Amino acid sequence: MIDIFVINQVDYSIIVIGGAGTLIFFAMQLVLCLKAKKSRTKRIPLYVLLCLALFCVLLGFGVFGSSSGSVLDGNKIAALALACIVGIAAIGEILAWAVYGIIRHNWKRKAE
């Protein structure tokens, strides 16, 4: 077994995967913000994230299936996994909107 992200016997694979995911979602949203003309088009990833978050909440409450009542319920495990993915994507989206706001502010300042 190759442990590529193990440094000093500490596994950093979750941090690396989360950081890579955040960078991917950041890049996608920033490119969309810079290239899209309509504000509705810029907000499409935000709407997708909100729908996924709603699906995650509904899945956690057991709307899509019966709950076994145990601590390790399948619906809750799936909701937790989806919540981690949505959280990573949301961090990238928020950072992209912040960078886009700074860029747009500087563009308006240069136009004056």
- Note the pLDDT of residue 83: 92
HSE-CB of 19 using CA atoms within 13 angstroms = 6
12 near 5, Cβ under 8 Å?
yes
Please report, in tens digits, the pLDDT of each residue of the chain (112 residues total): 457 777 777 777 788 888 899 999 999 999 999 999 998 999 999 999 999 999 999 988 878 777 666 767 788 888 889 999 999 999 999 999 999 999 999 988 887 7
Backbone dihedral region of 67: left (phi > 0), alpha (psi from -120 to 50 degrees) or beta?
A: beta
Kindly give, in sequence order, each residue whose CB lies less than 8 Å from that of residue 48, ignoring residues fewer than 6 positions away.
none
